[in-house]
Amino acid sequence: MPGITLDKAKAHLNVTLDADDALLTDKLAAAKAWVGAYTASNPDTDGTPAPVNEAVLQLTAHLYQNREASLVGVTAQELPFGFLDLLAPYRAWSFG
């Protein structure tokens, strides 16, 4: 299965309009870059494990739904439960 596409991300988010395609494409790219750095792998290739794809989708959704670095009147929360758990088996450890 190839990496997550814009259409797959839109389906995950239940977004049916094209108005936010450019924004969502940027959020998807940022999520792929973050997951790629965390796992030292390319989440945009064939054979990406399903948990890694799910983590990309979850992070994309989080970035799309929370577009500001800080919000007034909102309690700060960590990334959705399970996000890092999905990536734990694929994490690239570096000691240097």
Domain ranges of the chain: 6-66+79-90
Q: Are 43 and 52 in contact (CB under 8 A)?
A: yes
Q: What is the 3-state secondary structure (H, E, C) of the chain?
A: CCCCCHHHHHHHHCCCCCCCHHHHHHHHHHHHHHHHHHHCCCCCCCCCCHHHHHHHHHHHHHHHHCCCCCCCCCCCCCCCCCHHHHHHHHCCCCCC
This prediction has a pTM of 0.84
pLDDT (tens digit per residue) in 35-64: 999 999 999 887 899 999 999 999 999 899
Mean pLDDT taken over the chain: 87
